Chain A
Amino acid sequence: MSGRSEATISVDHVSRWYGNVVAVNDISFEVGRGITGLLGPNGAGKTTLLHMIAGLLAPSAGDVRVDGATSWRRPDMYRRVGLVPERETVYPYLSGREFVQLNAHLHHLEDPRAAVERAIDRVELSHDADRRVGTYSKGMRQRIKMAGALVHDPSVLVLDEPFNGMDPRQRLQMFELLRQMADEGRTVLLSSHILEEVERLADSVLVVYAGRLAASGDFRSIRQLMTDRPHVFSVRSSDDRRLGALLLGEDCVFGVELDASGLRVRTSDYGEFTRRIPRVAQGAGIRLVELRPTDDSLESVFAYLVGR
């Protein structure tokens, strides 16, 4: 994230392996103030990276620094860092308020009572704060975890899949809260495997796939790369052979294969192709039976970015 405000998180040629399995492979990046999204499919290495940044995991190689100091085995770092872990588990026998109080007292805050009420208000859980966490919905548990991470007013906030289990309204509230945190000058690094979440929230993104950094920088330019990549469609119609021949004449199509299941059409422009094919078929009196993108999973997008 070079060129942004002064970096608070610095990851320098970091790798992490478990035996023969490489979870994170020689990744370097810097994160400054504002919201940065760590995007990647499940299993990409996002949590491993966040745990190394949060000082919960030692890198096998390389260096992870937060505010200029190595994060591993540095408990004093947590005065400035808040973590919202991915796992939902929160002490089920504590009330929401007791959980936030626990966090406040472990931070030795000067006025823990006021800090607790402030944090609970921020996540809008005041009405349910005295209920046991064991009775909370997934979304409420996410929010009380958030309150626990915010109670000491950290300048760096690390969130692992914070929107898991939240309903749309709760997501919007969380988006708003995170934007406020960024506007206050904090560094917010959040992971997600859902493109749209990151797109709506983050100024910058880090795309991780198979333990490698696939792309990083401004979200719009990365989105463009994703959109412009080759797409493959599966097409079935009343006359596949004739439709294939016609499609080959279109500028946006650069390959057509015909097999027993129908056509496989390669295009460089997703939007243009989906607009052109009904017109081509209609003009030739061919009935379209099926039009299906075959590689539209986020995973294929990430694979493309890595292989680029």
Chain B
Amino acid sequence: MIARAPIVALTLRGLLDRRRTWLMLALAAVPVVLVGLAAGFGDARIEPDDFDSLIVQLVLPLIALVFGTAAIGAELEEGTIVYLLTKPIRRARLVASKGVVVAGLTAALIAPAAILTGIVAGLTGNDVTSAGLAYGVAAAVGGAAYAMLFMAISTFTTRALAIGLAYVMLWEGVLADLLEGTRTFSIRQATLAVARELAGENPPEGAIALEQGVFILVAVIVGAAAVATWRMSRYQIRGGD
């Protein structure tokens, strides 16, 4: 694979070390296990909204955060980025290759997690299997936006993980629920707009529209890629002495 897509192959190898892979698989399994336990043993009723709290609000940003901040951020911290920067390749290609990997890995984990959660809930008598599929597809797109955003942040600061967590917890978790205007800048709200449309749900009052949601997700993906490219084309490696 190094021959066909060297940066993609390198990034995959770097991100999928044994510990991180198990951790991410465990994280993706959380909603499946929780729904199985709640519906199987607790007789709880699973609603489409539960996909928001378990998948979109909890697991999706965390997986995207881990992959997004490590793809370029780890190379900048460890100094290995020098081997990529001293090659005759366009910085846009570097960022696009890394972006494809983080978006792909996030989607590869979150979509099956949502679909499996729907199937497990369906097996216990809840009619949310199709909602699981809808949330899975929407989360895959939302995951790309999150991962690209976090990757772009990691090109500016070594504290990308903390900043990403603050965005997810404070902005999306608190402010976007309280202040309607902030939803325009919320990847979670945009992801929910797509998921609700695909699931055929009626959006609650104050929710952003599908078109707006799609625009936000596309704008974040394209904007983050452009910002990361701009940053990497000016990235300077200070001398140690």
Taking residues whose C-beta sits less than 8 angstroms from the other chain, chain B's interface range is 20 to 34
Residue B202 interfacial (CB < 8 Å)? no
**CA A102 – CA B13 in complex, angstroms?**
12
**CA A25 – CA B234 in complex, angstroms?**
22
Asked whether A23 lies within 8 Å of B239 as measured between CB atoms, the reply is yes
Residue A277 interfacial (CB < 8 Å)? no
Residue B2 interfacial (CB < 8 Å)? yes
Residue A50 interfacial (CB < 8 Å)? yes
Asked whether A56 lies within 8 Å of B241 as measured between CB atoms, the reply is no
Interface of A is mostly: mixed
Q: Which A212-266 residues have a C-beta within 8 angstroms of B?
A: none
Chain B window 68-93, contacts with chain A (Cβ cutoff 8 Å), 1 for yes, 0 for no = 00000000001110111111111100
A75-B90, A102-B6 known; A48+B238 contact, CB < 8 A: yes
Contacts of A75 in B (CB 8 A): 87-91
Residue A96 interfacial (CB < 8 Å)? no
Asked whether A102 lies within 8 Å of B240 as measured between CB atoms, the reply is no
Contacts of B87 in A (CB 8 A): 75, 78, 103, 106-107
**CA A98 – CA B10 in complex, angstroms?**
10
Contacts of A48 in B (CB 8 A): 238-239, 241
Residue A22 interfacial (CB < 8 Å)? no
Asked whether A50 lies within 8 Å of B239 as measured between CB atoms, the reply is yes
* Residue from B2, B7, B79 whose CB has the most chain A CB atoms within 10 Å: B2
Count of interface residues, chain A, beta-carbon cutoff 8 Å: 44
**CA A73 – CA B7 in complex, angstroms?**
20
**CA A44 – CA B7 in complex, angstroms?**
35
A79-B88, A83-B82, A89-B78 known; A51+B2 contact, CB < 8 A: no
Asked whether A51 lies within 8 Å of B79 as measured between CB atoms, the reply is no
A89-B79, A98-B2, A106-B6 known; A44+B236 contact, CB < 8 A: no
Contacts of A54 in B (CB 8 A): 86
Asked whether B237 lies within 8 Å of A93 as measured between CB atoms, the reply is no
Closest CB in chain B relative to A112 CB, distance in Å: 7
**CA A78 – CA B14 in complex, angstroms?**
24
**CA A56 – CA B239 in complex, angstroms?**
9
Asked whether A87 lies within 8 Å of B82 as measured between CB atoms, the reply is yes
**CA A86 – CA B83 in complex, angstroms?**
12
Q: Which A105-157 residues have a C-beta within 8 angstroms of B?
A: 105-108, 112, 148
Contacts of A77 in B (CB 8 A): 88
**CA A153 – CA B227 in complex, angstroms?**
33
Closest to A148 in B: B83
Asked whether B89 lies within 8 Å of A91 as measured between CB atoms, the reply is no
Asked whether A93 lies within 8 Å of B89 as measured between CB atoms, the reply is no
Closest CB in chain B relative to A15 CB, distance in Å: 13
Asked whether B241 lies within 8 Å of A43 as measured between CB atoms, the reply is yes
Return the contact of A57 from the options B6, B10, B237 (Cβ within 8 A): B237
**CA A108 – CA B93 in complex, angstroms?**
14
Closest to A91 in B: B80
Return the contact of A46 from the options B9, B79, B238, B239 (Cβ within 8 A): B239
**CA A62 – CA B9 in complex, angstroms?**
39
Asked whether A47 lies within 8 Å of B241 as measured between CB atoms, the reply is yes
Return the contact of B84 from the options A55, A86, A98, A106 (Cβ within 8 A): A106
Residue B162 interfacial (CB < 8 Å)? no
Asked whether A101 lies within 8 Å of B239 as measured between CB atoms, the reply is no
Closest CB in chain B relative to A209 CB, distance in Å: 11
Closest CB in chain B relative to A107 CB, distance in Å: 6
**CA A86 – CA B7 in complex, angstroms?**
22
Chain A window 57-98, contacts with chain B (Cβ cutoff 8 Å), 1 for yes, 0 for no = 110000000000000010111110101011101110110001
Asked whether A85 lies within 8 Å of B82 as measured between CB atoms, the reply is yes
Return the contact of A85 from the options B7, B10, B79 (Cβ within 8 A): B79
Subset of 14 A-B contacts with CB under 8 Å = A48-B241, A51-B239, A56-B86, A58-B236, A75-B91, A81-B86, A85-B79, A86-B240, A87-B240, A101-B2, A103-B83, A105-B3, A106-B87, A106-B89
List residues of chain A with CB under 8 Å of any chain B CB. Answer: 16, 18, 23, 42-51, 54-58, 73, 75-79, 81, 83, 85-87, 89-91, 93-94, 98, 101-103, 105-108, 112, 148
The 10 closest A-B pairs by CB, nearest first: A48-B239, A47-B239, A106-B87, A105-B6, A56-B237, A87-B79, A43-B241, A47-B240, A89-B79, A78-B88
Q: Besides A48-B238, A78-B86, A105-B2, 8 other CB < 8 A contacts?
A: A47-B241, A54-B86, A57-B236, A57-B237, A58-B236, A86-B240, A91-B14, A102-B83
List residues of chain B with CB under 8 Å of any chain A CB. Answer: 2-3, 6-7, 9-10, 13-14, 17, 78-80, 82-91, 233-234, 236-241
